[in-house]
Amino acid sequence: MIKQSAYGTEPWRLVENRLDLDLLAQSESIFALSNGHIGLRGNLDEGDPHGLPGSYLNSFYEVRPLPYAEAGYGFPDDGQNVINVTNGKIIRLLVDDEPFDIRYGTLHSHERVLDMKAGTLTRTVEWSSPAGARVKVTSVRLVSLTQRAIAAVNYTVEAVGAKLRLVLQSEIVANEELPQRSKDPRVAAVMENPLVSEEHQCTNDTGPARAILVHKTRASGLRIAAAMSHVITGPEKMATRIESYPDLGRLTIAAEVGAGEKVQLVKFIGYGWSSQRSKPAVVDQVSAALAAAHLTGWDGLLAEQRAYLDAFWEGADVEVEGDTEIQQAVRFGLFHILQAGARAEHRPIAAKGLTGTGYDGHTFWDTETFVLPVLMYTHPSAAADALRWRHLTLNEARRHAAQLGLDGAAFAWRTIHGEECSGYWPAGTAAFHINADIADAVARYLDATEDAEFEREVALELLVETARLWRSLGQHNAAGNFRIEGVTGPDEYSAVKDNNIYTNLMAQRNLACAADLAVKLPDEAGRLGVTTEEVASWRDAAAAMYIPFDDRLGVHQQHEGFTDYARWDFKNTGQDHYPLLLHFPYFQLYRKQVVKQADLVLAMYMRPDAFTPEQKARNFAYYEPLTVRDSSLSACTQGVMAAEVGQLDLAHDYLAEAALMDLRDVEHNTSDGVHMASLAGSWMALVAGFGGMRAGAGLLAFSPRLPGGIARICFRLRYRGRKLRITIGPDQALYELLDGKALEIIHHGKEFKLTKKSVELDIPPATAGPRPEQPPGRMPYNRSS
């Protein structure tokens, strides 16, 4: 685990003062820069040492055959893996005779700063070679939020104390050698030499020294062009040379630098890729992007970056008083979510964004369930773009449904391009809830934005096709209940069960929303073949939906029969046996009362209307001792529901676990990329937890209440074209409408109208039972100690 102070506690900056080589891979994920189109891991400029070299382009992947010991009908033949593309961020340095490599010589000082207002990663190093030649290296790196195809590095070397001979090599490198990764099935399979060279060029005849490499992937047939171009400032005695090879472009700058003198290299990196466009078209596209970046210049890129972020934070910032770690972490989370989604533009947002190869670069349900709600209320166009990507995969989803013998659309459990890539169907295809999660995000987005164009173009079809899926997936039994059998809910320690409560409740909402929108848009619905009979059948199914409840215990069942199972033997399960899935067979996990991640508890957050307050408290108390949190998707949800049932300190603990997932490497796999959903979950635990925000079904409600350890929270929201600011103290909540028309809001169950005049309301005291226990050893961080 990363120790507490690795990145300091500054509210807007992560500051690393010491380079720990054992944690290099984790820091590369944390310091990754992205705009949702390009992602660059925080690798050191000189390439070595590294944890995992990584440069990614959204949806640029290779296919690989999926092997099975015993195959079955419909098992996907091929997987999709994000691949490490041409690396444009390498700048090597020779100091007199010695390569600049911090593992040799003396590292006098090291600092890396991720500035969440500037959108830059700055590195400052003072180093002496083994021979005693001393340099100060400063590099500032950005991936432009305003110029989608562009990344840039401003690299400065200063000779400290004596005249030096310096050689800089600025490179673009394809097919980098990658380290062999762990055997953990969750870690992406490594793809070796995925890129086949198509062309390489370099020139410094006219304008800045440029090189370009064009490659194609072997199996998926995608074409990529990566180019670099430079602005060089340095001493008089300086020579440059540019070369290109199939897998390498290299600009070499040799200079004699006097003491205190510098060489400065501004490097612009352009990326373009296409599955269809010709080689000249892709080459021209990248060259054009570089030309535009040169025109803007380094300072211009910096200014644009800051302006973009200022606008974002204005509608998205969350202030936390009393817990500086959480303050930093929640901004860190928002920053990475913005990076993942800002310029994805009809491409998916992966579970790890573009920060690493974890989960093969796939997108799952947690994008819709955890990440998009944050974007909906902070940067709604990015949420719309991500849902438009889902909409673009409707054909694959329809084919998948047909293959499964179902109507409508069955979206892939894990994918990059839309095809199902899950190699273990009980925890893949069977997790149909992803379809209701997508539908929920669609409905929630409509509620948050009233985006009429999206409603017509995207929302209706997504809701209709998923409703059709549910209608064909479930069936009425003799008693008239509508039942959905043999599916897997969010909790992956149960699989292929009957009537998973989360699935049934989300399907119910899906069916109802589809019916409502089809009635609202009769012409468009008619074009999709929707009839009044079909709408009626959705409403009937929703009304008859079976919700499993154990009368004896007075709690809901995560799935039918769950509470009849034996409880997991927590007492005899050592802490070194977590996560359980790496130490126990699925067979045992599936047949016991043990919960990997919030499932029923998530249902209580997503469908607050389906439970009474008493049921929520009783369910929460029952499931809490069964939930081991072997998934990063759990703590935030448990935090939200802990807050709702009045367990405020526990909610604070869960908030911390979610918020610090990557900054503390809680699950020991931040090296593969940061956990977007958990980072989003820190926002959720604050806003939906301590803010008590519930939205998505027509009314915006808050039930704010703070734990002892937090003095004040202030968060900003965008909602239906408005900007809101809500400030929560121990006893009062202040509601402000910063922009837009008046609206109705519910505060602790009472509706009021918020106009330009801010409203301060009292917070009623919480009532709660005893703090529930977690399984032995599985309690979250204790923030109060």
Q: Which residues bind a copy of itself (CB under 8 A)?
A: 66-76, 79, 185, 403-405, 422-430, 475, 477-478, 483, 485-486, 495-496, 498, 552, 560-561, 564-566, 581-588, 590-591
Tell me how far CA of residue 596 lies from CA of 351, 490, 568, 588, 777, in angstroms.
18, 9, 12, 13, 14
CB of 245 or CB of 584, closer to a copy of itself: 584
Could you tell me the smallest distance in angstroms from the CB atom of residue 562 to a copy of itself? 10
Could you tell me the smallest distance in angstroms from the CB atom of residue 422 to a copy of itself? 7
The dihedrals phi and psi of 418, each to the nearest 5 degrees, come to 120, -25
Contact (Cβ atoms closer than 8 angstroms) between residue 305 and residue 118: yes
Whole-number Å distance between alpha carbons of 73 and 414: 18
How many other CB atoms are found less than 10 A from the CB of residue 503?
30
Whole-number Å distance between alpha carbons of 499 and 600: 12
Whole-number Å distance between alpha carbons of 525 and 530: 5
Whole-number Å distance between alpha carbons of 190 and 181: 7
Q: Is the dihedral of CA 19, 23, 25, 31 positive or negative?
A: negative
CB of 3 or CB of 183, closer to a copy of itself: 183
Residue 614 catalytic? no
Whole-number Å distance between alpha carbons of 31 and 40: 9
Contact (Cβ atoms closer than 8 angstroms) between residue 81 and residue 189: yes
Could you tell me the smallest distance in angstroms from the CB atom of residue 67 to a copy of itself? 3
CB of 189 or CB of 311, closer to a copy of itself: 189
For residue 434, give the nearest of 495, 487, 382 by alpha carbon. 487
Whole-number Å distance between alpha carbons of 724 and 448: 12
Contact (Cβ atoms closer than 8 angstroms) between residue 45 and residue 89: yes
CB of 264 or CB of 588, closer to a copy of itself: 588
Tell me how far CA of residue 173 lies from CA of 44, 55, 78, 755, in angstroms.
15, 10, 28, 56
CB of 34 or CB of 429, closer to a copy of itself: 429
CB of 476 or CB of 741, closer to a copy of itself: 476
Whole-number Å distance between alpha carbons of 637 and 601: 7
Whole-number Å distance between alpha carbons of 154 and 165: 20
Could you tell me the smallest distance in angstroms from the CB atom of residue 560 to a copy of itself? 7
Neighbouring C-alpha atoms within 13 Å toward the C-beta of 515:
20
The dihedrals phi and psi of 237, each to the nearest 5 degrees, come to -85, 90
Report cis status (omega within 30 of 0) of the bond before 775.
no
Residues 6+ apart with CB under 8 A from 510: 435, 436, 439, 440, 463, 466, 467, 470
Whole-number Å distance between alpha carbons of 209 and 290: 12
Could you tell me the smallest distance in angstroms from the CB atom of residue 71 to a copy of itself? 5
Q: Strand locations in 116-192, DSSP E?
A: 120-128, 134-143, 150-160, 164-173
Q: Which residue has the tokens 């948050």?
A: 448
Could you tell me the smallest distance in angstroms from the CB atom of residue 62 to a copy of itself? 15
User: Which residue type sits at 293?
Assistant: A
Could you tell me the smallest distance in angstroms from the CB atom of residue 68 to a copy of itself? 6
Could you tell me the smallest distance in angstroms from the CB atom of residue 594 to a copy of itself? 12
Could you tell me the smallest distance in angstroms from the CB atom of residue 423 to a copy of itself? 2
For residue 270, give the nearest of 292, 241, 246 by alpha carbon. 292
CB of 51 or CB of 548, closer to a copy of itself: 548
Contact (Cβ atoms closer than 8 angstroms) between residue 89 and residue 28: no
Q: Which residue has the tokens 């444009």?
A: 88
Q: How many residues does the chain have?
A: 785
Could you tell me the smallest distance in angstroms from the CB atom of residue 412 to a copy of itself? 14
CB of 262 or CB of 483, closer to a copy of itself: 483
Could you tell me the smallest distance in angstroms from the CB atom of residue 187 to a copy of itself? 11
CB of 42 or CB of 428, closer to a copy of itself: 428
Tell me how far CA of residue 563 lies from CA of 493, 555, 557, 588, 776, in angstroms.
14, 9, 6, 15, 20
Both tokens assigned to 774 = 């977690």
CB of 470 or CB of 590, closer to a copy of itself: 590
The dihedrals phi and psi of 262, each to the nearest 5 degrees, come to -130, 155
Could you tell me the smallest distance in angstroms from the CB atom of residue 546 to a copy of itself? 10
What is the residue-wise DSSP string for 620-654? HHHHGGGB---STTSHHHHHHHHHHTT-HHHHHHH
Contact (Cβ atoms closer than 8 angstroms) between residue 688 and residue 703: no
Both tokens assigned to 616 = 């929520």
Q: Annotated catalytic residue: which of 492, 534, 644, 657?
A: 492
CB of 72 or CB of 749, closer to a copy of itself: 72
CB of 423 or CB of 740, closer to a copy of itself: 423
CB of 201 or CB of 403, closer to a copy of itself: 403
Q: Which residue has the tokens 């676990």?
A: 657
Q: Which residue has the tokens 């006893």?
A: 731
Q: Give buried/exposed letters for 707-743 (b at 16+ CB in 10 A, else e).
A: bebbeebbbbbbbeebebbbbbbeeebbbbbeeeeeb
Could you tell me the smallest distance in angstroms from the CB atom of residue 475 to a copy of itself? 4
Catalytic positions, please?
492
